[in-house]
Amino acid sequence: MRDPSPLELLTARPALRMDAEAGLLFENLPLIDIVRAHATPTWVYGADTIKTRYRRLKTAFPTTKIHYAVKANDHLAVLAVLAREGAGADVVSIGELQRALHAGIPPNRIVFSGVGKTETELSAALHHRIATINVESPEELATLSALATAAQTRAPVALRVNPEVDANTHEKISTGRKGDKFGIPIAEIPALYAHASTLPGIALQGLAVHIGSQVTTTAPYHAAYTKLAALVRDLRAQNLPITTLDCGGGLAVPYRNEPVPLPEAWAATIAKAFSGLNLALTIEPGRWITAPAGLLVARIIRSRRQNMPRPLHVIDAAMNDFARPAMYGAWHGILPLSPTALHAPLAEADFAGPICESSDFLARRRAAPPLHEADLVAILDVGAYGAVMSSTYNARPHAAQVMLHDGIATLIRPRPPVADLWSDETVPTDLK
């Protein structure tokens, strides 16, 4: 596939515009102003984009509950935007649970997923009376039943099914194949479901499935949901009640302007598979809602051209800030902030971070306009699995975070001073 040009990237993203004077605008605000106020590297999120995308999903899924996968971007401001839109949350740790509650997402709109929930986490889920705990193993089911019984309550449970379907996505984000660590093998479900229905501490609701992330065609969804529908019929044939079905997340975004299914196509796949079964349906999308709502603005520290196969731009954002390219070989668009660069002739260039790792590249062999030291660039579609996956490797403080809302840019997380990196470290007395 041919890479989209910077102009094609821009044209396909409604929240971005190039102004002949102010340069690259995001939600109508010049990114250069944000750089002047907060320097680089800085994450910029557009609240309107988050809202627009959530509403678009809601239109495609009018009767399905939407539980935003908090892991994609758990900033309180992002969660607050979604809470006000009426979204629920899919959480995978006590930290995410508390963040979601803190942002104002009501407990009856929260589901808890994950293969390794601790007793503390399960107890917190019971305590807060969240909507559903997606149980991923017989062992977790037994522990949860015991905890609920001791607390004189019943745990609302769905069993997460591993449907043994390949989502045809990156190896590291596939979750529904035979042998993946997630969910309960589909063949074991009928017996476990029957057993769960007899446990005193368990209020059984239904099933959950999540086959992976960045799912670029509806075919794997169709395969998984067809199996789930058959399973629902089997369970009901054994007089086991099942009222809810969590269809998971995973809808892809077109990072490279590639064709991906629209929300309506995903909704149609779900509707077709489960029609007539009278199930309360939910989805847990993360990436689709927030990825295009975030940019990472960075500055070129140094451009090397001598004796190089192509120009190497070393920028001040690195794999510690944004791990996806180094971790999954992910492709993210890069746009210059300057209006003149957009129409300049393109030539291949590499973009790397300053970290001492050979994998610290943000883009390789990228068709880019001529760029020079001190030029500014925006890395696109980083609103999901961006800042949440940052580290401070190489003693690099976290980047600043800004949210655009109603035409105002708010600093929602300042760049911490370098000394914060060691402010909670202790040196044993005899070494001081």
Structure tokens at 141: 């089911």
Q: Is 163 in the site for ligand LLP (CB under 6 A)?
A: no
| 105 vs 342 by CB, closer to ligand LLP | 105
| 38 vs 65 by CB, closer to ligand LLP | 65
User: Binding ligand LLP by CB under 6 A: which of 42, 113, 205, 320?
Assistant: 113
Q: Is 117 in the site for ligand LLP (CB under 6 A)?
A: no
Stretch that binds ligand LLP, among 11-19, 56-64, 207-215, 374-382 (CB under 6 A): 207-215
Residues 250 and 327 sit within 8 Å (Cβ to Cβ):
no
Q: Which residue has the tokens 């149980």?
A: 135
User: Binding ligand LLP by CB under 6 A: which of 249, 261, 336, 353?
Assistant: 249
| 249 vs 263 by CB, closer to ligand LLP | 249
Q: Is 261 in the site for ligand LLP (CB under 6 A)?
A: no
Q: Is 248 in the site for ligand LLP (CB under 6 A)?
A: yes
Q: Smallest distance from the beta carbon of 216 to ligand LLP, in angstroms?
A: 11
* Interacting residues with ligand LLP between 276 and 335 (CB under 6 A): 284-288, 324, 328
Q: Is 140 in the site for ligand LLP (CB under 6 A)?
A: no
Closest CA to 205 of 284, 97, 279: 279
Q: Containing H/E element for 24?
A: strand 23-26
Stretch that binds ligand LLP, among 140-148, 244-252, 273-281, 347-355 (CB under 6 A): 244-252
Residue 247 annotated among the catalytic residues of the structure:
no
Site string for ligand LLP, 41-80 (x = CB under 6 A): ----------------------------x--x--------
Beta-bridge partner residues of 350: 312
Sign of the torsion angle spanned by Cα atoms 190, 191, 197, 202 = negative
| 284 vs 360 by CB, closer to ligand LLP | 284
User: Binding ligand LLP by CB under 6 A: which of 4, 163, 250, 383?
Assistant: 250
| 324 vs 366 by CB, closer to ligand LLP | 324
User: Binding ligand LLP by CB under 6 A: which of 13, 109, 210, 366?
Assistant: 210
Q: Is 382 in the site for ligand LLP (CB under 6 A)?
A: no
Q: Smallest distance from the beta carbon of 384 to ligand LLP, in angstroms?
A: 6
Calculate the alpha carbon distances from 313 to 25, 194, 342, 396, 404 in Å.
23, 59, 17, 19, 28
The secondary structure of residue 310, as a DSSP letter, is: S
Q: Smallest distance from the beta carbon of 385 to ligand LLP, in angstroms?
A: 3
Stretch that binds ligand LLP, among 10-18, 196-204, 210-218, 401-409 (CB under 6 A): 210-218
Torsion angle of C-alpha atoms 311, 317, 319, 322, degrees rounded to 10 = -120
Distance from chain centroid for Cα 410: 22
Structure tokens at 271: 């509707």
Beta carbons within 10 angstroms of residue 172's beta carbon: 10
Stretch that binds ligand LLP, among 116-124, 242-250, 302-310, 340-348 (CB under 6 A): 242-250
Sign of the torsion angle spanned by Cα atoms 79, 82, 88, 90 = negative
**Helix axes 94-102 and 76-85, enclosed angle (nearest 10):** 60
CA pair distance 419, 432, nearest whole angstrom: 18
| 212 vs 369 by CB, closer to ligand LLP | 212
* Those residues with Cβ within 8 angstroms of residue 225's Cβ, 6 or more apart along the chain or in another chain: 209, 247, 269, 270, 273, 274
299-302's contacts with Cβ under 8 Å and 24+ in sequence apart are 299/35, 299/40, 299/41, 299/374, 299/375, 299/376, 299/377, 300/371, 300/372, 300/373, 300/374, 300/375, 300/376, 300/377, 301/354, 301/373, 302/373
User: Binding ligand LLP by CB under 6 A: which of 173, 192, 194, 219?
Assistant: 173
Among 20, 237, 356, 427, which one carries the catalytic annotation? Answer: 356
Residues 282 and 61 sit within 8 Å (Cβ to Cβ):
no
Sites of contact with ligand LLP (CB under 6 A): 69, 72, 90, 113, 173, 210, 213-214, 248-251, 284-288, 324, 328, 384-385
Positions marked active-site: 356
